[in-house]
Amino acid sequence: MTTFEHPASHPDQATPSSPPTGPLPPGTARPRRLRRTEPIRGLVRETVLPPSRLVLPIFLTDANENAREPIDAMPGVSRHGLNDAIAFAREAMTLGIRSFALFPKIEAEKKTPDGAEAFNADNLICRAIRRFRESLSDACLITDVALDPFSSLGHDGVVENGEILNDATVDALCRQSLVQAEAGADMVAPSDMMDGRVGAIRRTLDQHGFEHVAILSYTAKYASSFYGPFRAALDSAPAAAHDVPRDKKTYQMDPANAREAMTEARLDIDESADILMVKPALPYLDIIAWLRSAFDGPIAAYHVSGEYAMIKAAGERGWLDAEPAMIESILACARAGADIVFTYAAVEYATWWHDQHGMPVNR
């Protein structure tokens, strides 16, 4: 057994010298000089994320055009009727937010196993696009391409005999993208993670005269536990049935994998994706940074519902100061390399941005 004795028990053993006291010698490096005041800190700030780089997700409901239904699991977030959604977006635009991702909560009676409501040119999302385009002509509208909001089975793709069919799903996604483009979407955003869907959607759009509609691909969408509040907001979780997969692990990525994200990114770029997305954001900052170092095009990060909810919940319990924690987490996405951040706290962040920069709100 090793024993430890105090140096004083050995008078002949040298005692360590005391640390030097007094001022440091001239020429000592002092990084704190550039942290001394807020103007100096602002001058050398490496990461700047203005509100124009944010995307505000908006949940839509057909319950009532003026509805605003709070979502319990996401404090401060609601489902909006179309009138209220436009008013909400208009207010956000006064803060410099220009881009909106629209997500519909489809009524249960309109859901079917094949998700056919997704192809209806008069469905909730298409009506919303047209209304937004009429009222907010200079907004950027990004639409989700996946079957799960429309499917009674709750999966992003076509389910048959307990499996998600890749190619049949890609055909469905092309039809869905086309009706959204026809309604006036600026970008379609396939979030399904099917193989080959980006190229197929690009060809479909081009063949129908929508070369100008961009594709924002969910390139590295992980089979994450952080999506729970989102699925509750849209009632889009996988159905509990014996012939329906209980999770989305056969198409969304394994959280343990990083190199696979690079494979997905190369494929999406080869298939003409305009923007690459990583989802979720904070647990996958390494993936964002890796893609940023490898590709020159725009990278987006989705600060998802679970990331938002856990900060809000901790703030409500007094465990942390929620507002600066939320700002920090959003800035972390940009610091890792994201050019664009999808976040439910976009309005909160933009308000902070204007306060920090002493800028008037454009009301």
Dihedral sign from CA coordinates of 32, 34, 40, 46 = negative
User: Which residues are within 8 A (CB) of 318 and not within 5 positions of it... i.e. 6 or more apart?
Assistant: none
105, 111, 248, 279: the catalytic one is 279
105, 111, 221, 248: the catalytic one is 221
Active-site residue 279, yes or no?
yes
- Are the C-beta atoms of 104 and 116 separated by less than 8 Å? no
| Strand partners of residue 58 | 102
Token couple for 129: 């696009």
Provide the H-helix boundaries in 94-241. 124-135, 166-183, 197-207, 228-234
- Are the C-beta atoms of 195 and 166 separated by less than 8 Å? yes
- Rounded Cα–Cα distance for residues 207 and 109 (Å): 33
- Rounded Cα–Cα distance for residues 44 and 352 (Å): 19
- Rounded Cα–Cα distance for residues 67 and 70 (Å): 10
CA angle 79, 81, 85 (to 5 degrees): 80
Catalytic residue list? 221, 279
